[in-house]
Amino acid sequence: MVVLLAFAIFIAIAISIPLLISSLIRQSVRPMTSVAISNQGSLALVETNGDSSAILETENGMLVNWGDNLITQSADNGTIVITHPETEELIFRGQIYANTTLVLNEATTPRYEVNTLPDEVSLELKHGRMRVTLPQEKEPITYLLDVPQGQIELFGPGQFAVVASEEETQVSVFEGVAKLTSSGSVLDLSRSERAILMEGVAPDGPYATSRNLITNGSFNAGLDHWIAQDWLIELADQPTGETKNETFTGDNSIRFIRNGVGAAETAIRQTIDEDVTDFELLELVMTLRIHGQTLWVCGTVGSECPLMVRLEYEDELGIVRTWEQGFFADGNVSESSPDSCQTCVLPSSRHQRVQPGRVIAEEIDLNEALQGFPPSQIRSISVSSAGHAFDAEVFDIALNARE
């Protein structure tokens, strides 16, 4: 009996130890790289032990650990970026707006190749507003967002907007799919759909949300539906630039690069031809980055920005107008380098300064920007780059409209 018992114990150990090791290997994960960046004002980073730090607009960002809170006040906004620890590919990007509290619950990737678990990103939006961008997935990724009334699972590639409060949470899907769970009920949302979560009841929806008038605004299909215009070069002996579709970081973008002297300009353009008479909402949303420029601000007459978006439309009288919004990263505004286009006709907006080398999300209310010249028909939209030497890119652009 002793020999048989010893043999049985030996067999159990011989079987269980390899199985335990195999299970540990398959379940082993490691953290992704999570960085919070201030785009305007400052972000408060409150760690799990209660220590707090301020992330300033002039800084390159700060690492965020699991359980940390990101808090914005009324004049602040920022970005949380989650990347793979080895490849540095983008996994998640969330734009955080004013009066928001966001918690990073978890962001993991398998430690070993034999691990069958998917990458997982889990956050909690306690209150406030955020816009989420998910890149095209190369591996299975689970995205979970907890809100006061339930949980939202996101499926990319896609773009989503979430506004949370104690009373209700609004979820809008511009691209991709979202699965909402609340009070034991599940609701699936797809492109151009919206729903409301409230405590103790099933998700309310789907409702129609604003639709994006731009096709392939995330550049997942390169320049499909876009026309790349030829480079215009002032000096014949100077080189042209390059319009590139960047994909190596896992986040698609269109990048404009030029090294030379004398003026140069190029653009990508998409025809829209949509009637927007009396639309309740007309909003331009884009994510951009300016790496550098040699021409200060946007040139001597304000028409050579390293990145500019241009909207061609007809107003209520049928007059064709062009509205432009420029972005720059270097230089000080002065009489010789104005912050608005001096040769453009109304309406126009002042150029916006952005931090060089930083991914920035911009939202522009076109009903306000085009005040006095309301549009009836959107003809086309263009993204251009101009100057002497410059390096700028746009990650996504949307023209959201709602009747």
Query: How far is 333 from 392, CA to CA, in rounded Å?
Result: 20
φ and ψ at residue 59, rounded to 5 degrees: -95, 160
Distance of CA 177 to the CA centre of its chain: 16
Domain definitions of the chain by residue range: 29-208, 227-402
Lowest mean pLDDT among 107-116, 166-175, 232-241: 107-116
Tell me: pLDDT of 24 over 60. no
Confidence of residue 358 (pLDDT cuts 50, 70, 90): confident
The residue ranking higher by pLDDT, 277 or 155, is: 155
Tell me: pLDDT of 18 over 60. yes
Entry pTM = 0.71
Contact status, residue 101 vs residue 70, Cβ threshold 8 Å: yes
Span 229-255, mean pLDDT?
87
Span 15-32, mean pLDDT?
68
How confident is the model at residue 28, as a pLDDT? 64
Span 285-295, mean pLDDT?
92
**What are the tens digits of pLDDT across the range 38-62?**
888 889 999 888 888 888 887 788 8
Query: How far is 355 from 132, CA to CA, in rounded Å?
Result: 21
Tell me: pLDDT of 25 over 60. no
- Residues 6 or more apart whose CB falls under 8 angstroms from that of 177 comprise 154, 155, 158, 188, 189, 190
Query: How far is 70 from 268, CA to CA, in rounded Å?
Result: 36
CA geometry: angle 87, 93, 95, nearest 5 deg: 155
Span 284-297, mean pLDDT?
92
Tell me: pLDDT of 26 over 60. no
- The overall average pLDDT reported for the chain is 87
Confidence of residue 311 (pLDDT cuts 50, 70, 90): very high
Report the top-level CATH class of 29-208: mainly beta
Span 129-142, mean pLDDT?
82
How confident is the model at residue 49, as a pLDDT? 87
How confident is the model at residue 342, as a pLDDT? 85
Tell me: pLDDT of 305 over 90. yes
Same fold across 29-208 and 227-402: yes
Contact status, residue 59 vs residue 31, Cβ threshold 8 Å: no
**CATH of region 227-402:** 2.60.120
